[in-house]
Amino acid sequence: MVPEGLPTALGRLRAAISAADYPLSLTSAAEARKVGAALVSQLDDYLLPRLGRLDAPLLVVVGGSTGAGKSTLVNSLVQARVSAPGVLRPTTRAPVLVCNPADSQWFRQGDLLPGLTRTTSPSDDPHTLQLVAAPALTPGLAFLDAPDIDSVVDQNRALAAQLLAAADLWLFVTTASRYADAVPWDLLRTAQLRGTVIALVLDRVPEEAASEVHEHLAEMLAANELAEAPLFVLLETDVDGQGLLPPRDTAELRGWFERLASDASARTAVVRQTLNGAVAALGPAADGLAAAADEQAAAARALRERVRTAYRGGSETVERSLKDGRLLRGEVLSRWHEFVGTGDFFRGLEARIGRLRDRITAAVTGRPQPGNQLKSAIESQLTTLLRGVAADAAENAYTGWQAHPAGAALLEPSLARPTPDLPDRADRLVRDWQRGVLELVRQEGSDKRFVARTAAYAVNATGLAVMIAVFASTAFIPTGLEIGTAAGTTLAAQKVLEAIFGDQAIRRLAAKARQDLLDRVDGLLSDEAARYFKRIEAVGVDADPGGELRAAAAEVEQARSAAALTGGMRLALPDRDAGAPR
């Protein structure tokens, strides 16, 4: 009996494999999906149903290369024409399972290979399994004639691999001319690594070459750690009227299978060894799937970081622009000069702070206001900057994804540009920020006689001065490029605002207004970056996709050890003459 923990653990692993997804276009994704599908098929087709019935008849899957004589051999072993040999290649008929009538119910009920529809008639549908009862076949044993493992038809090869994964014992059939082909050896190595019990038939061997070919194949088996696999040699011969090999030629092989079928302990040993090997192989396979899933998560993180870097660069550009004084050039600088006075004013500023304050008050209360033009210039300068950094960030993010295979597959042309409504949102951001600056001034100057006396006019004028201070960024301490173009301008703003609010208040106002602007810019660029993030979220990459696979695989390995399927005993198959062929 098998402990209940193993089927439960296998069920959890199956669920984890089925749930694992590989949506990003990475080199490992296609292989992971293929391996995952194969593992689920093996669990459904063989491991879970076989664990439920260890005493079920032994299933021998007969596999091999095109034209190796598999069907002829199966027919000869059961002494009836039950599987039609393929005359034309590639053979497209459905696989054929032959068993004693007493064992038919187990295979008919469909626990084993549940994805194949049972039929009792020959079929060309590869999704069917033809069941044939053969009274001459010893109960407890069944042969399944599989499609060619090297068929030129992809579906045939896939079905052959699926059937071989459902074998208790794989009978590999090859010929003297094809025993060294690469494809069967790849499958033999896979079966050996998985612990599947294997027996081999070397068919159609010319008598004069029998010893030489047998010796060479035996050397190859030993080199691939398959020296203990039983090897049977069938000499080249003619078939009878029914297409069967002479009974004397198959007597040794047929007798070997009869002894295996009649020995319940030997059959159980074969089943347990193959089960143990197949379950043990799930761990490394699941680790491979977990690594591929982790690669998906890593790729998603890398793509997100490329977007963050691109849009973070946009925010940093805005911040640098506030620091280096570039926003104080051109139209903004001209309008500021008009607002506070002429160049003569700057030269005599230290002695005339009071008169300057009166001039500003008069300007905002009784004269046509250059403040509106200054406000518009500030708005235009900021909006132009925001549009530019958004465009650059979109292009940089697009380029970053283009250079990544997973990112390139997710791109669409519109991502290379800002969203269509970006200009409107940038305009709105600047206007909202300007209103926010005025509100800051209003709150800061609520107890100042100057603001109280001049009301909204003073708030507007002072707010503009604060905006200019933000453009200088360094709280009126000229540095870098500011020295060349804006030192006088920032100093003028400093003196005016210090006269009204005091030194500390002015620095606090400028710092708050600057941070408010940067926060709004971050929000704008985050909204732009979200387009990229949504495309990653849409494909659905988990944060830790490999964790569940590893945990489930570890649980299976613990349950396998507890089950002690092989019991630490070495498999002993029925004896046969291991010497050179007859």
Read off the pLDDT of residues 87-113 as tens digits, 9 standing for 90 and up.
Answer: 444 454 689 999 999 999 999 987 889
CB contact at 8 A, 382 and 471: no
Task: Copy the structure tokens of residue 428.
Answer: 């709105």
- Spatial distance between the Cα atoms of 479 and 157, rounded to a whole number of angstroms: 74
- Spatial distance between the Cα atoms of 337 and 370, rounded to a whole number of angstroms: 9
CB contact at 8 A, 71 and 34: no
- DSSP state string for 479-503: -THHHHHTHHHHHHHHHHHHHHH-H
The per-residue pLDDT for 3 is: 58
Q: Which residues fall within 8 angstroms of residue 454, CB to CB, at 6 or more apart?
A: 361, 364, 365, 461
- Spatial distance between the Cα atoms of 70 and 409, rounded to a whole number of angstroms: 45
Buried b (16+ CB within 10 A) or exposed e, 181-204: beebbebbeebbebbbbbbbbbbb
> What amino acid occupies position 136?
A
- Spatial distance between the Cα atoms of 410 and 408, rounded to a whole number of angstroms: 5
Torsion of CA 27, 30, 34, 37, to 10 degrees: 120
The per-residue pLDDT for 89 is: 41
pLDDT in tens, 456-484: 556 777 777 788 878 765 444 444 444 34
Cis peptide before 413 (omega within 30 of 0): no
- DSSP state string for 98-159: EE-GGGHHHHHTTSSSTTSEEESS--S-TTEEEEEE-TTSPTTEEEEEPPPTT-SSHHHHHH
- pTM equals 0.77
What stretch(es) of the chain map to CATH 3.40.50.300?
A: 57-262
175 beta partners: 203
Q: List, in sequence order, every beta strand (DSSP E) within 177-252.
A: 197-205, 231-235
Roughly how many angstroms between the first and final C-alpha of the chain, as a whole number? 42
99 beta partners: 133, 142
Q: How many residues does the chain have?
A: 582
Per-residue pLDDT of the chain (582 residues), as tens digits, is 555 789 999 999 999 999 998 999 999 999 999 999 999 999 999 999 999 888 899 999 998 888 888 989 999 998 888 887 754 444 546 899 999 999 999 999 878 899 999 998 888 888 899 999 999 899 999 999 988 887 878 888 888 888 988 999 999 999 888 888 888 888 888 888 888 899 999 999 998 989 999 999 999 999 988 888 999 999 999 888 888 999 999 999 999 999 999 998 889 889 999 999 999 999 999 999 999 999 999 999 999 999 999 999 999 999 998 887 777 777 777 777 676 664 333 333 333 444 445 555 545 444 445 577 888 888 999 999 999 999 999 999 999 999 999 999 999 999 999 999 999 999 999 999 999 998 888 887 665 554 444 445 567 777 777 888 787 654 444 444 443 444 455 455 555 556 655 667 777 888 899 999 999 999 999 999 999 999 999 998 887 889 999 999 999 999 999 988 886 555 556 665 544 443
Q: What is the DSSP letter of 46?
A: I
Task: Copy the structure tokens of residue 415.
Answer: 């991502």
CB contact at 8 A, 394 and 418: yes
Angle (CA) 156-222-270 rounded to 5° is 60
Q: What is the distance of C-alpha 34 from the center of its chain?
A: 13
- Spatial distance between the Cα atoms of 543 and 307, rounded to a whole number of angstroms: 18
Alpha-carbon Rg for the chain, nearest whole angstrom, is: 41
Q: What is the distance of C-alpha 311 from the center of its chain?
A: 25
Q: What is the DSSP letter of 576?
A: -
Report the DSSP pairing between strands 58-64 and 141-145: parallel
Instruction: Identify the CATH homologous superfamily for domain 57-262.
Output: P-loop containing nucleotide triphosphate hydrolases (3.40.50.300)
Nearest to 278 by CA among 164, 194, 383, 172: 194
